[in-house]
A and B are shown apart, each in its own frame.
Chain A
Amino acid sequence: MAFTDHSDLYGAINEEGINLVVRHLMRLRPSLFNYGTTFIAQNPELLCHKIDADPMVYARNNPLLTIESPLPVLGTNGLVGLNYCVQLVDMKVDFHPGNRITLPPELGQLKKQQFALSAKACAGLGCPDEETMRMLEKVFDRINTPIFVDDLVNSGSLTHVPDRPAATQPKPIVVPTRKLKCFCLEVFAVGHIEIIQIGNRFVFKPKLDGLEIVDLRPQEMEDSIECYVASVIRLGLLPRLQVAMEKIVFDQMSEILTVTLKPTPGLPNNPAIEGDELKVFINMEVA
């Protein structure tokens, strides 16, 4: 049986190949997988996990992290923020049938036409040490007006008003740190790949079907963190990993020909994830 029995063109990548692609992607675009504050970006030795970036990333001053705002300390009116980082590391992909990644029971067995993904989600918080905390307390003692019992009785409200006008308030402080308190969670996900049309182009788009973080308790906390990680993957990561179909096949022929590619219709699965490979069947028109 030929690869192209049902299409003009056929393309496939196996597990080893996709994992090499992921490895190159993580080395060349580390900021897709690593997030943190400016302070952490300026002090990458503080990261929970050392980033293995390609030398060209440094040579071209590309960011190792996507810069995010500091984590606000609630109740400080945004005056105090903490440094943090979140990193996705050791990412692996397994195409059906599953044989590289052992999925947790919550996700069940890898279904037909699905891929599995495993990674570690490592996070670190720049928690202020005791000395810094005392110093901050002193600052806030001076900024905030004490709340007296009389005030509560007379106003009937717990709202307190700063004793200085807003214009004279100190600038927000991002508490520097010498070490992040890090932890890593094992993340497992399953998904499938769709081909979607954007304008007159077709792109491969990975879709997340399920996500599980192992052994977090209580269950509600696990659910919430899973919801957040899934949101990051679905909204922050996957939309930036779409690859145009013509990039995979005959992109380089554009100098000679205009080749229009379309997914072959009428096949039960296109793209197909089977036999430890991702396969795509394409028809083409040449002008």
Chain B
Amino acid sequence: MSHFTVASSEAAVGKLFGGIRDGFSVDESDSVNMGPFTAGYEVAFHLEGGTVDLQNSGNILIKELDIKWDKLRVFAGIDIPELCIGGFCIIPSPWGCVLRAPRICVFDDNPDLGIDLDLGGLLTSELSIAAKPKLTYFIDPARPVGMNWLDAEDANLANQWRLFIDPDWVDIDVFDWSDIVGDLLDDAINTAVDDLLWFLPGWAKSLIHAILGPVVDLVRAILDIGDDIDEWLSNLLGVSLGLFDLIITLVADYFAGKTPLLKIEDPFPIMPYQNGLIPVKLPIEKLDITINDKEMVLAATLGASL
């Protein structure tokens, strides 16, 4: 039979969740090289909203947690195949060409153009997590074997009971795209190509555009964007750059794996050091947690000796 019982209502768990959520933010960047183009991102986000639901199954369900993107910049460097115009013979002669048109080559760098999409504020993402409470007993690896409880206390190496929420599943609905993201991409490509061809006279630009057709289509083809920009960008960020995994890992770890919801020192302090007198601490021999749809209940059994 346990000695101590501590219960937290669903509302209180919600308040604790809100506090933890409000303390969470991420600022990350990464890039990847994928053949003809390189891509990368810079992201920063925080969390808002969401509800906590305690369930009779023993699960904690966190629903509709919004990921608010403070920064989501995607950039891609594209290597367009080299294109040369001119160089043809204007005045041929039996001894060879007397006069040739000037030869101009473009897209001979790698990458040739860069696309920079700032999607901050255009996206909304939602995260839902179902998790079970999980208690673990933590012994600091730095604590030497045989160190007594008081020396461990002094060295800040006391053992701990740790309460995590262990995710059963994590569902991330990353993109609620605005249609203008596609237009933004098209504009970014056209601007980048025009910037790239700045040195050419207007007639040459027109000629290149005529030869290439719509530049946007070319770049889309190179990037293998196809018709569905949602799918492409989602694939780029999620699969190639692993952004989704990053989000899931960061959020799930924050709420579960790496950040315990509760740390209970063992032995548990009830009176601190006072005028040189050692602290009064209680050994927690056993700790159990149960969840029903109304509350989370923690039951502790004290040990007879430290």
A interface residues (Cβ-Cβ under 8 A, vs B): 2-5, 7-14, 16-17, 20-21, 23-25, 28-29, 31, 54, 56-57, 59-60, 62-63, 243, 247-253, 255-259, 284-287
Contact = CB atoms under 8 A, between A and B. Distances in A.
Given A247-B270, A256-B19, 17 more contacts: A3-B7, A4-B8, A10-B5, A11-B4, A12-B6, A14-B3, A21-B302, A23-B304, A24-B283, A28-B280, A57-B278, A252-B263, A252-B264, A253-B263, A258-B19, A286-B15, A286-B16
Contact of B9 (A9, A28, A31, A56): A9
Given A3-B295, A257-B20, A286-B18, A11 B6 contact: yes
A258 B23 CA distance: 11
Interface in B138-154: 148-150
Contact of B7 (A10, A63, A258): A10
Contact of A257 (B9, B16, B283): B16
B9 A11 contact: no
Given A8-B11, A24-B282, A54-B306, A59 B150 contact: yes
B284 to A, nearest CB: 11
A62 B8 contact: no
B9 A29 contact: no
B281 to A, nearest CB: 7
Given A3-B297, A243-B270, A252-B262, A12 B5 contact: yes
A28 B269 CA distance: 12
A110 B121 CA distance: 66
Contacts of A29: 271, 277, 280
Interface string B264-300: 1100011100001111111100000000101101000
Contacts of B6: 9-12, 248-249
20 contacts: A2-B9, A3-B5, A3-B297, A4-B7, A8-B12, A9-B6, A9-B8, A10-B7, A13-B5, A20-B302, A60-B150, A62-B277, A62-B278, A243-B271, A248-B6, A252-B262, A252-B265, A257-B16, A257-B19, A287-B19
Contacts of B149: 56
Contact of A255 (B263, B295, B297): B263
B259 interface: yes
A255 B160 CA distance: 14
Interface of B: 1-9, 11-12, 15-16, 18-20, 23, 148-150, 160, 259, 262-265, 269-271, 276-283, 292, 294-295, 297, 302, 304, 306
A9 B10 CA distance: 10
Nearest to A251: B269
B12 to A, nearest CB: 4
Contact of A4 (B9, B16, B271, B306): B9
B3 A16 contact: yes
A17 B295 contact: no
B107 to A, nearest CB: 53
A24 B271 CA distance: 11
A13 B2 CA distance: 9
Nearest to A277: B5
A56 B18 CA distance: 41
Contacts of B278: 28, 54, 56-57, 60, 62
A11 B282 CA distance: 16
A8 B20 contact: no
A82 to B, nearest CB: 27
Interface centre among A24, A63, A248, A284 (most CB of B within 10 A): A24
B3 A4 contact: no
B276 A62 contact: yes
Contacts of B280: 24-25, 28-29
B15 A8 contact: yes
Given A24-B280, A57-B278, A2 B294 contact: yes
A31 B1 CA distance: 31
Contacts of A2: 7, 9, 292, 294-295
Given A3-B297, A256-B23, A286-B15, A17 B302 contact: yes
